[in-house]
Structure 1
Amino acid sequence: MSFADLARLSRGQPLRMLLVNAGDVESLAWAGLVQPLRLAQRMLGSGFALEVRTLATTPAVGCSEDWHIALLVADEQQPAPADGPLQAAIACCRGADYWGGVGAAVLWLAAAGLAAGVRIALPWALYADTEEITQRAILTPHLFELDGRHLSCCGGAASIDFSLTLVESLFGNVVQAAIKEALCIDRVRGADERQRVALQARFGALQPKLSEAVTLMEANLEEPLSTDDIANLVGLSRRQLERLFKQYLGSLPSRYYLELRLQRARQLLLDTNHSIVQVGLMCGFSSGSHFSTAFGALFGNTPREERQRKLAGA
């Protein structure tokens, strides 16, 4: 499921969203999430009902309201609160159509067994605390995730990207563009972009070969290396390398490499004035048709449509 599918929530009815702050109101995770949403509320009036609560103001016995989206939010350094208030907040959020956590709250939900088999974006700084949940949740290095009904964001500076992505998905790019202008934001990072140190934090000590292979890929986007070349350079057989990628990243090296190149291409299409042909070449695609087909398969639109999206936003 993609974030674009959330648009159905706001069709023909006021959208209702709940944010439960379980941490510091001054934290970057909270400020980045709530500011764009409050601006959207002012712009849309009765079309968007945003309610903000704390653990202390969340009912201890369930919630009677019907929320479309509900999120539990905490800075990554926030220790888990007492079990009673936390469970009450979780129960309130779980009643929404889509629900989840931001920052440390992602870890709390996973530790409570509520992310079994679910892809979650966990703050890289908390990866050391995941030993007990890695067999249940699927940790990804992304900034944020939508998996079924489950929303997650690594928090910190990514919270504002997550919030603006929700705004665009729910209310369209015109509303998002107005909020970006009000907040002086030029670019919104996508859900598929990675926390820069997440892989190193999670695998650097335990799986240095995997970390080294990903670093090689990131350094060779314009002239891609073959899987055999990467395996040789890190001192593994091709089969050993494929096993590592499958076990820890849920993908084959070739597929992971392709997605890295396509994510870079998407960033260049949105952030630069390079031609589409130039972007393809800069990301290792000698064939324009191959670039367009692979880009469309991953993102659901062509490089030309992605560039037009940038121009329309401008």
Structure 2
Amino acid sequence: MEKLINKENIVIGISACLIGEKVRFDASNKPSNFCINELGQHVTYKAYCPEVAIGMPIPRPTIRQIKKDDVIHVSRPDGSGDVTEALQAYGKKIAALSSNLSGYVFCAKSPSCGMERVKVYSPEGNPLVATGVGVFAQEIMKANPLLPCEENGRLNDPIIRENFVARVFAYRHWQILVEEGITKHKLMTFHSHYKYMVMSHDLVAYKNLGRLLARADLAVEEMASQYISGLMAALKIKATRKKHANTLYHMIGYFSDHLTPEQRQELCQQVEGYRNGLMPLVVPLTLINHYLMIHPKSYLAKQVYLNPYPQQLKLRYSY
């Protein structure tokens, strides 16, 4: 599937300050090294700064989320210059135009772009529990519940980073399928390529998606809708070393008749070494790919799990 994706046709929305645009309130930026220098080599960004887009100047007075009578408003700290409705309207506008996006990276803690844990204040200026969601970000996520979204700060975590990128590429694969026109056969083929990917995240979802595709009482459109919802929910669950090890052992089974006892022992030792945190995932995967070249298995070779995104990102080297 990777051949279907290139830098030009996988588009990710991003807060403009994260790719170096000096659009923050103090005319600064918050460039993300990962977004610019690593992921940026494989995707195309569509940058947005909602505060500038609604007419706020650079530089500009700070704004914050203020809770009054259980309603969140976004304004200057003294309550003047309310931009809540303007940010909401712009969010709805961009959400309606963002069907081609395969993911979104938001600027953390921003009253307009933060995904979660945005600071909220009382009208008197006292800090409340930081449970706010950026007004613009909220509209994007509400309109596109399947869209993979993350914040720049969370992407410093290697597991969260890998999970986000895997979801972005999976979602783009799905968008390509939709663009080509979904049939029951194409849906079954798509699922067959993602079986081990899903298994490494959620074994229950793996079984449920299989049962879904076995149903004969659903129109293909409804089946596809339920399938992609289930797939994206499953992939959002973080894969663990235990789940990865279980998936790797399933793959090893394909080589049972080809490996010597010594080769099989070496492979199992690498899987156990990974399970116990002694080596990164790339180590057992490299050996499995090596045996796959020597003993070709068509079904296994098509598994997205083996190459879910460009290898140059090296996302499986750090966990």
- Does the alignment reach a TM-score above 0.5? no
Give TM-score, length-normalised by structure 1.
Answer: 0.30
Give TM-score, length-normalised by structure 2.
Answer: 0.29
